[in-house]
């Protein structure tokens, strides 16, 4: 093959390669906007699903925990994170609680239950559950159908009532289920009923803490409406019907008015001295202290 023909072939190859490169660039430029738009669409759907799941979970399973803010952070076309800032209202005192960071992408939007589940601390003097970030004590509820708990069933009312100049939250577990009307008659007016414990899994708690969730809801000025919202949230959270505890509760309380629904326990807040009235009450099976705060002159307790 002579030199002229070789040169022509090389020139033709270069032209073809240039055309291919230009065509590829054009294809990428044409497809990039719709691909970017499609990626953002699926990422936004993942973020929306995770936002909704977090709000639903807090509506059914986080005793006396409020969401202060929940924002999407570190977002991209492929996914991102949602940060949930939380606190507790202890009789008019805001107490810091753990901040959750959960991730999502096009397909997955699962919550990180490792952060939500309390930590367990064993010492030479006892055992307690605690919030992993703030290291504050987590109040424990005791299901009436579970007879034996690891480290026993505690009643800390006598100790908390001796704690001067503080506000506290206390999880009260009943000896048997009661209606809301029954409960109101038993609780002093100088304590706040802030959360109702409705159900939880019946599991073996004797060998070690199971870390099982408790289901209930924050009480509002309208308990009937709050209960309706709770039931709706349970149905939405477990729309596929996989959670046996939730489905059993919904089935047993289907179409029941709130004043006939049985309650297993309550979360109370108030000044520590006001808990003394509950000491040695027969309807209380267990009483577990949660978060506390010292009273200061510039913040007035609610009660």
The 3-class SS string of the chain reads CCHHHHHHHHHHHHHHHHHHHHHHHHHHHHHHHHHHHHHHHHHHHHHHHHHHHHHHHHHHHCCCCEEEEEEEECCCCCEEEEEEEEEEEECCEEEECCCEEEEEECCCCCCCHHHHCCEEEEECCEEEEECCCCCCECCCCCCCCCCCECCCCCECHHHHHCCCCEEEEEEEEEEEEECHHHHHHHCCCCCEEEEEEEECCCCCECCCCCCCCCEEEECCCCHHHHHHHHHHHHHHHCCCCCCHHHHHHHHHCCCCCHHHCCEEEEEEEEEHHHHHHHCCCCCEEEEEEEEEEECCCCCCCCC
Separation of alpha carbons 173 and 153, rounded Å: 10
Question: So where are the chain's domains?
Answer: 119-294
pTM score, whole prediction: 0.86
Average pLDDT (48-76) is: 90
Determine the pLDDT at residue 4: 63
Residues 120-170 have pLDDT tens digits of 998 888 888 999 999 999 999 999 999 999 889 999 999 998 999 999 999
* Average pLDDT value for the chain: 88
Q: What is the mean pLDDT of residues 201-211?
A: 89
* Percent of the chain whose pLDDT exceeds 90: 68
């Amino acid at each position: 093959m002579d030199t002229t023909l070789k040169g022509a072939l090389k020139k033709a190859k270069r032209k073809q390669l240039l055309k291919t490169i230009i065509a590829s660039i054009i294809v990428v430029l044409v497809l990039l906007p719709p691909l970017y738009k499609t990626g953002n669409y699926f990422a936004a759907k993942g973020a929306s699903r995770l936002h909704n799941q977090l709000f639903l979970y807090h509506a059914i399973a986080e005793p006396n925990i409020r969401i202060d803010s929940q924002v999407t952070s570190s977002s991209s076309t492929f996914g991102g994170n949602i940060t949930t800032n939380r606190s507790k209202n202890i009789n008019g005192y805001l107490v810091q609680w753990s901040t959750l960071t959960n991730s999502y992408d096009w397909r997955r939007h699962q919550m990180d239950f490792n952060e939500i589940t309390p930590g367990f601390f064993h010492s030479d003097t006892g055992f307690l559950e605690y919030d992993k970030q703030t290291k504050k004590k987590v109040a424990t509820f005791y299901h009436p159908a579970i007879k034996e708990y690891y480290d026993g069933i505690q009643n800390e009312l006598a100790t908390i009532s001796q704690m001067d100049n503080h506000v506290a939250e206390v999880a009260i577990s009943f000896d048997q289920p009661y209606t809301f009307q029954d409960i109101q008659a038993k609780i002093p007016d100088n304590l706040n009923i802030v959360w109702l414990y409705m159900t939880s899994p019946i599991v073996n708690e004797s060998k070690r803490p199971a870390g099982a969730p408790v289901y209930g809801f924050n009480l509002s000025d309208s308990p009937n409406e709050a209960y309706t919202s709770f039931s709706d949230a349970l149905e939405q959270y477990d729309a596929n019907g996989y959670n046996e505890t939730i489905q059993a509760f919904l089935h047993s309380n289907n179409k029941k008015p709130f004043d006939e629904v049985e309650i297993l326990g309550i979360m109370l807040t108030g000044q520590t001295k006001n808990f003394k009235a509950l000491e040695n009450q027969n309807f209380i099976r267990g009483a577990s202290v949660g978060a506390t705060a010292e009273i200061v002159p510039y913040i007035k307790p609610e009660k």
